[in-house]
């Protein structure tokens, strides 16, 4: 099982749609989880952290299921500006903490 595995993309959705990204991770000792956003030819930027209780930031909702080692990101009312690649990120949890990035899922929102 890969350390961090995401849905293959791209996801093509119309404006206003709701879209969900899924991610699984292999290291049960991982403690910290994030979603990053990367625009084309740009650096990744932190979108939100993911907490066990679930958390919401405007149109974005992140959830974590530790038992299933599963993370999700839900985007409601998609905007054209949401078009980007979404990276699932997990800390490595061995020795010094480093982050392991999934390959990302591309989202294309069309008018």
Partner 1 sequence: NAGVTQTPKFRVLKTGQSMTLLCAQDMNHEYMYWYRQDPGMGLRLIHYSVGEGTTAKGEVPDGYNVSRLKKQNFLLGLESAAPSQTSVYFCASSVTGLGYTFGSGTRLTVV
Task: Identify the residue among 9, 19, 72, 101 touching partner 1 (CB under 8 A).
Answer: 101
- Nearer Cβ to partner 1 (55/100): 100
Q: Which residues contact 78 (CB under 8 A, 6 or more apart)?
A: 13, 14, 15, 16, 17, 18, 19, 107, 109
**Which of 35, 44, 71, 109 lies at the binding interface for partner 1 (CB under 8 A)?**
44
Which of 13, 19, 32, 69 contacts partner 1 by CB under 8 A? Answer: 32
The first and second tokens of residue 28, run together, are 């049960």
Which residues have a Cβ under 8 Å from the Cβ of 80 and sit 6 or more positions away? 15, 109, 110, 111
Q: How far apart are CA 72 and CA 92, in angstroms?
A: 18
Q: How far apart are CA 10 and CA 4, in angstroms?
A: 18
> Site for partner 1 (CB under 8 A): which residue of 43, 53, 68, 111?
43
**Closer CB to partner 1, 28 or 98, in the complex:** 98
Decide whether 18 or 52 has the Cβ nearer to partner 1.
52
29 binds partner 1 (CB under 8 A): no
Q: Does 99 bind partner 1 (CB under 8 A)?
A: yes
- Say how many residues make up the chain: 111
Using the contact rule CB under 8 A, the part of the chain among 13-21, 22-30, 44-52, 68-76 near partner 1 is 44-52
């Amino acid at each position: 099982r890969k350390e961090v595995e995401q849905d293959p993309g791209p996801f093509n959705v119309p404006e206003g749609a709701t879209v969900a990204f899924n991610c699984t991770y292999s290291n049960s000792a991982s403690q910290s989880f994030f979603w990053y956003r990367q625009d084309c030819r740009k650096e990744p930027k932190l979108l939100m952290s993911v907490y066990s209780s679930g958390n919401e930031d405007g149109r974005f909702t992140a959830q974590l299921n530790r038992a299933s080692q599963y993370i999700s990101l839900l985007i409601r009312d998609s905007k054209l500006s949401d078009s980007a690649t979404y990276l699932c990120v997990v800390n490595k949890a061995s020795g010094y903490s480093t982050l392991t990035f999934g390959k990302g899922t591309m989202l294309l929102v069309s008018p």
